[in-house]
Structure 1
């Protein structure tokens, strides 16, 4: 049964990122965001990335948040926004998968300018993947984008360095992993902490954008725009060890927490858990077809090229973005038997 997304009642904690023997309760009040610098360069997307092994190591660190969603089945919202010759269509869907509770929270804002004036288009999309509850994820959903705008995301003359600084200082509060996208004019910013991913589907030639029938004849390149933050990975392990933490043989920080960057998890902050995100930016061109944002539950059963091919096929069939997002999540949860909560946002770029 498909339901519209909404805030749900609090439910029992999810064990997904935390060892069963030691659950983590999300903090009700967030502590102040850590100070950090920002990139001075605008990294480019590699042209040859075609599978989940291809990752972009982005520029910065941030803060994470936890949340839980009480919806029992898929949830969908479809929106569109048009400016500068691009039409953006986006939709989200969710399923609790093999879990008893839903702790993912998502945001789809095609017009994300709120009450902040500016001449440039601003759209915002995000998935907050909670562990140990959904309080922090709900908090991030409510406050993060507003804080980013307050921190000065440029809406007049585009300045990449200033935009990244605004995102970094945008009040990343306690308790979940996250993948967030801001589209300002034709510049796309991707920020992530933890193991949620953003994947870009790119054409081999500019002529294929907006012509999904033609593009379907040639497989699109799947480009991973995020870098996973897990305690077992060498770069993250080194940072944890320098902070006095340890990674056990099961790949978990202090034997308990799988991710090394997250909102909240305060008891692990002294052991190296940070909420500083990687931030990546790129320009929309005629080669960008669509993006898929997904929590780790989606990528547990879908390879990145697999997911891109799945969406590309449905676009060829002329299905709406809303239907495609639901089909993607249904395939993951019902057909491929995802054991975790599963949430996805599909963002399609078209030219007039």
Structure 2
């Protein structure tokens, strides 16, 4: 049994089944002076490593965010976009070319848990990130599980030291990208979805396939309800003790003794040239949009009409920015009374 819930492989079509992995000849001349002074075997190993990095076909990711308070008195969502997370690490495994991190946190009972997670979770993740690449998948899984546990413990310690004690909690949907591999760790009812373009038939039009990158946690799910009941809790009206809407979270100290946990579900997906974008959103978005409708809405903005661009933006960046902002606006227009946060991550090779 695999460590992760892997997503299906893309349909392979002629000419686009794999990333082109040609290496520039300029690589041979890089650092020529340093190589002349180094032993031959070191030069060969260094060149092989550089070639491996360049040839990986690492996708380019750009993140855009839109946040709306909606009809709530307070904005309890938080988010973070790190297109280059390498700056947070003291050392990075030599075979890893790129590290990126995007996350959305939907707070309840206050904004302190979501803000704490947005400010601290990625730093804990950076400290725990594997220093070696052997069994990288297994190590990344352990790193994410340990990071969520540590973040929850750190917040609960701080919350319990306050007078009166904080009772805030938060969902967490975090996307860590290691080269071309996406790892999504999720707690609660925020979600992540991927838009992948695939051909219907030989020579036919490309269609959009929406892939779920996360699994929701609420107490109406059988496994979640059973865990809560075994711990001495109850589920009423679809909520823990008739109050809490999610069955896993960061914070919520008063519910941790009755089966609400901070262990995320993990999913892994390798990005391909067929992938267009990823949406991370809180439940404020997905209360009024299905995953498929949200993806189609974004595609429509990307493919149709002109948009206003910010200074320095390319036309493509302007379309993604507009799609992100309009998606959040449309969620509010459709009557979502909750906070709405949308992160849109474009994918290109």
**What is the TM-score normalised by the length of structure 1?**
0.72
Which residue does 2:189 correspond to in 1?
195
Matched, 1:137 2:135: no
Partners of 2:251 and 2:182 lie apart in 1 by 26
1:269-317 deviations in Å (ceiling 9; x for gaps): 1111101100111111222221100000000110111000011111213
Partner of 2:232: 244
Listed one character per residue, the Cα deviations across residues 52-86 of structure 1 (whole Å, up to 9, x for unaligned) are: xxxxxxxxxxxxxxxxxxxxxxxxxxxxxxx8342
CA RMSD of superposed structures (Å) = 2.4
Counterpart secondary structure, 1:338: coil
Q: Which stretch has the larger CA shift, 309-318 or 142-151?
A: 309-318
1:27-46 equivalences under 5 Å are 41-46=3-8
Q: 1:224 to 1:303 in 2, by over 3 A?
A: same
- Corresponding residue for residue 340 of structure 2: 342
1:152 and 1:47 map into 2 onto residues whose CA distance is 26
Distance 1:105 1:43 in 2: 26
Are the equivalent residues in 2 in contact too, given 1:154–1:163 (CA < 8 A)? no
Query: What is the deviation of 1:225?
Result: 1.5
Which structure 2 segments of 5+ residues have no match? 11-55, 156-168, 305-315
Shift of 1:98: 1.7
Secondary structure at the residue paired with 1:133?
coil
Provide closer, same or farther for how the CA distance between residues 115 and 226 of structure 1 changes in structure 2, counting only shifts above 3 A. Answer: closer
Q: Deviation of residue 327 (structure 1)?
A: 1.0
Post-superposition offset of 1:47: 6.2
Give the whole-Å Cα distance in 2 for the aligned partners of 1:276 and 1:90: 26
**Shift in alpha-carbon separation, 1:284–1:47, aligned structure 2, 3 A:** closer
Task: Determine the structure 2 residue equivalent to 1:110.
Answer: 83
The match for 2:42 is: none
Shift of 1:158: 6.8
The DSSP-based 3-state class of the residue aligned with 1:130 is strand
How many residues of Structure 1 are paired with residues of Structure 2 in the alignment?
270
The structure whose residues are more often helix, as a share, is: 2
Supply the distance in 1 between the matched residues of 2:319 and 2:261 (Cα, whole angstroms): 38
Q: Is 1:165 paired with 2:164? A: no
CA distance in 1, matches of 2:132, 2:101: 13
User: Are the aligned partners of 1:122 and 1:155 in contact in 2 as well (CA < 8 Å)?
Assistant: no
> Which residue among 285, 296, 303 is the counterpart of 1:316?
303
Partner of 2:331: 332
